[in-house]
A = this chain, B = another copy of it.
Amino acid sequence: MSLPLPTRADVLAAAPRIARFAIRTPLLESDRINDACGMRVLVKAECLQPRGAFKMRGAANRLLQLTPEERARGVVAFSSGNHAQAIAYVARALGIAATIVSPSDAPAVKLASVEADGARLVLYDRVRESREAIAAAIAAETGSVVVPAFDDAAVIAGQGTCGLEILEQAADMGARPDAVLVCTSGGGLAAGIALALDGAAHLVCVEPAGHDDMARSLAAGATVANEPGVRSICDALLTQAPGDLTLPILRAAGATAVTVSDADALAAMAVAVRTLRLVAEPGGAVALAAALRGLAPKGASCVAVTLSGGNVDPATLMRALDQAASPLEAGNL
């Protein structure tokens, strides 16, 4: 663990840097969700970012620190879609050529967005091919700079600005979260928020069932990868293992992890539509799902949850709205 880790100072420095690209999203509260959870639940509406995900924060922080020479060489990123969209957006605005390596089964809305922003799209087979290898080959061939989706100090620091806002906005609302529940795959957002919190609240990583690599890695104190081949509706959260930067940050922060089912994620999407009028994709709804499932730390009276991304194919959104009322949907949720 000798890699230099980003610090809270890096997060503080990122906040003004990224203001041109990422907005200060609202921290919303619904009395109905509070009643259902038996506590205050503050929802950080990151799906309102341009291109629909918190990824804009890290992408902007990373690309804005490229040297002129690096900008000229272009960037390459591998992503199932939300990091890809953010990179394509920022790269276009900065006049940087971008190549995106995406799994061929990524949601169509995500792939279309990347192409609309003028990035070159390279598809691969999620099961048979390695996106890291493809991206490395492209980088070697073209000299492009690889921008990782989570295991990068500038990306983590950028995502952490979300945590700074949660603390400030909660204080403005007279609230003090005991815990922050964060949608987690590689752990970039979770690690960034952990840096921002600096112990002010407990950090809980929320993963989809079958993709609890972070939970198992935190328990083992070392990187444990997911079993290959397990599917989940949470297309944004299918990374195989925590990062070499994110895991040490989350371990040092004393983070814990919980998992939710695909059905829970879909039910939370429906709650977001009906109660908050927000569109979240399955992977973006898992933290809200955890709160609704009663998975906040024992004794908590207030939690914050991240809600992001919001890029979902219509069929999946309809499935969420269409499904029979689940136990989560008691009362008027």
Copy count, this protein chain: 2
Give Cα distance in the complex from A45 to B48, angstroms. Answer: 10
**Would you call A279 an interface residue if the criterion is a C-beta within 8 Å of the partner chain's C-beta atoms?**
yes
Min CB distance, A52 to chain B, in Å?
A: 5
Interface residues of A, dominant DSSP: helix
Q: List CB contacts (< 8 Å) of A19-45 with chain B.
A: 23, 25-26, 28, 30-32, 45
A273 contact set on B, CB distance < 8 A: 279, 317
Give Cα distance in the complex from A116 to B275, angstroms. Answer: 13
Give Cα distance in the complex from A273 to B322, angstroms. Answer: 17
Task: Select A47's contact among B26, B116, B277, B332, beta carbons within 8 Å.
Answer: B277
**Would you call A12 an interface residue if the criterion is a C-beta within 8 Å of the partner chain's C-beta atoms?**
no
> A31 and B47: CB pair below 8 A?
no
The residue of chain B having its C-beta at the shortest distance from the C-beta of A333 within the complex is B116
Sorted from nearest, which 5 A-B pairs have the closest CB atoms?
A277-B310, A116-B332, A314-B321, A277-B279, A47-B277
Q: Which A positions have Cβ atoms within 8 angstroms of B? A: 23, 25-26, 28, 30-32, 45, 47-48, 50, 52, 109, 112-113, 116, 273-274, 276-280, 310-311, 314, 317-318, 321-322, 331-332
- A-B contact list, 6 entries, CB within 8 Å: A23-B26, A45-B48, A48-B276, A48-B278, A116-B331, A277-B310
